[in-house]
Amino acid sequence: MRDPLRRAEQLFAANEAVTCEGRRRTYGELGTRVRKVAGMLEAITDPGDRVALWANNSDTYLELFLGIPCANRAIVPHNTRWAVPELVYATEDAGAKILITDRDPGAELSAVVDRVIRIDSGEYEELLTAAPEAEPAITPDTLAGLFYTGGTTGASKGVMLTHANLMANAVHTQLAQPLVGDDRYLTIAPMFHAAGVYCALAVIWVGAANVVQPAFSPGVTLDLIESEKITCAIAVPSMLAAMVETQTTAPRNVASLRWISHGASPVALEVLKRSCELFACEHIHLYGATELSPIAAVFRFEDTFLDDPQRAKSCGTAPPGVNLQIRDTEGAIAPNGQVGEVTVQGPNVMVGYWNKPEQTAAALDADGWYSTGDVGFLDADGYLYLVDRSKDMIVSGGENVYCTEVEDAIYSLAGVLEATVFGIPDEHWGEAVHAVVVPRDGIDLQEATVIDHCRGRIGGYKVPKSVTFQTDPLPKSGPGKVLKRELRAPFWDGKDRQIN
């Protein structure tokens, strides 16, 4: 991860590297601050230590995203929407000794680290100013970070990504959707999320500018596109839909845009068509996963295929350096057009899950192929189409929601006999979390009771948006597995796929 910044410092030292809320720094300044992050951490941590970061998007977040790994420490980005138990778990599981944050972490989270460094109080800036510059030795195989993603069974898992993984993604991204030196890239998606930083290294490599938006607001986003002459941006579908609505009612000058990418979950076709009309630029569909650093497929010029009833449903082709295969239930390669599990191989594939060898073995085969859990097919031209999701997961507003986590929260409510969770179509979020609950005999449960109970235990984006109740036991297979497909089928009636 150090190479792009070294190149930018050497060739584009005076170029604007990052701007956020009026603060502008050149590549020369950014390089100095990244080395000072290393100097700061060398005084309070050891090589290989994990450093948790819990903060909103900012120019400081970008320098820490670079600086922590370049200090030969591993960054542990925390989702700003997690509940306290989730924050504590990820911090303890990673063994993070330091927490850097822009908010009050509270006593429970503070108690599991050796030290908290506050960005919002000025403490971080004071430490950085006093720190010497340092460049500890790192190799391509050095662990760059643990990126936590929920688990289909049990607790969430720390995805281990190395410097080589993240650099491979930068190469693949640049080959598939090239950036140029005069680009002004807008970071809208949260930077703790793979979508928020998928282009960060490529932007630096070519000496382009990264304009960081601290928190998403469609009006602010459009204002930044106009005032900062933004050329490129990524938006998860819920963000894109909000931008479309705002641009329709209060249009800004967005003529500087040359492409908008979208990913993390599929977007409604009508939203995409309106976006293409309003923003009049290339649209790019991205598909990937945290475990893939994150890009696995890219659909360039998607806007030119929206009237093609088949190709418009695709999420693209593998970028150079990434291999896609569809495997049948026996693990054999499926022919074109046959539905099976999407598997991915390449230097972008994670090295495994932190301290979870069984889950690692289940996800990665001996040849390094990662099983995504998504079900789809490839056509004769190599375009990937997603049909269903084999993992017990919902994608709502670009966030992965693992059903087991939500079900565990519901089961902790007295009076619940059985519960199951699945995704249902939602025009705004893509999928919404829906729960079906069977109360114990004589217990009168209300939807609001279940929802309020979940709020204190899991992140807000995981809390069910709706709950239905039934007295009959949940339908089950012979081995006793809940047949979610039967329960969710009425919600998806008329849809051509079970992933919205």
Q: Reply yes or no on whether the pLDDT at 187 is more than 60.
A: yes
Own/partner pairs, 421-425, CB within 8 angstroms, 24+ separation: 421/394, 421/464, 422/394, 422/484, 422/487, 422/488, 423/394, 423/395, 423/396, 423/488, 423/500, 424/466, 424/488, 424/491, 424/492, 425/491, 425/492, 425/495, 425/500
Would you kindly state where each structural domain of the chain is located, as residue ranges? 2-376, 393-492
Q: What is the pLDDT of residue 391?
A: 65
Using an 8 Å Cβ cutoff, are 396 and 423 in contact? yes
Neighbouring-strand partners of residue 20: 23
Q: Reply yes or no on whether the pLDDT at 22 is more than 50.
A: yes
Q: What is the pLDDT of residue 266?
A: 63
Q: How far is CA 431 from the centre of its chain?
A: 16
What is the pLDDT averaged over residues 147-170? 87
CATH for the stretch 2-376: 3.40.50.12780
What is the pLDDT averaged over residues 138-165? 88
Q: Which of 243, 233, 193, 226 is nearest to 212 (CA)?
A: 233
pLDDT tens-digit readout, 343-382:
999 999 999 999 999 999 999 999 999 999 888 899 999 9
State which H helix or E strand residue 75 sits in.
strand 74-77
- Integer angstrom CA distances of residue 428 from 124, 195, 271: 37, 18, 10
Mean pLDDT of the chain: 92
Q: Reply yes or no on whether the pLDDT at 424 is more than 70.
A: yes
Q: Can you give the length of the chain in residues? A: 500
Confidence of residue 477 (pLDDT cuts 50, 70, 90): low
Q: Which of 163, 207, 208 is nearest to 185 (CA)?
A: 208
Confidence of residue 496 (pLDDT cuts 50, 70, 90): low
Confidence of residue 479 (pLDDT cuts 50, 70, 90): very low
14/476: higher pLDDT = 14
pTM: 0.83
Q: What is the pLDDT of residue 81?
A: 86
The Cα–Cα gap between 306 and 297 comes to 18
- Which of 213-222, 347-356, 469-478 has the least mean pLDDT? 469-478
Third-level CATH fold of 393-492: GMP Synthetase; Chain A, domain 3 (3.30.300)
Confidence of residue 429 (pLDDT cuts 50, 70, 90): confident
Q: Reply yes or no on whether the pLDDT at 427 is more than 90.
A: no
pLDDT > 90 in the chain, percent: 76
Confidence of residue 399 (pLDDT cuts 50, 70, 90): confident
The Cα–Cα gap between 240 and 273 comes to 11
Q: Reply yes or no on whether the pLDDT at 478 is more than 60.
A: no
- Integer angstrom CA distances of residue 389 from 187, 400, 500: 28, 12, 11
Neighbouring-strand partners of residue 115: 98
Q: What is the pLDDT of residue 348?
A: 98
pLDDT > 70 in the chain, percent: 95
Q: Reply yes or no on whether the pLDDT at 279 is more than 80.
A: yes
Q: Reply yes or no on whether the pLDDT at 500 is more than 50.
A: no
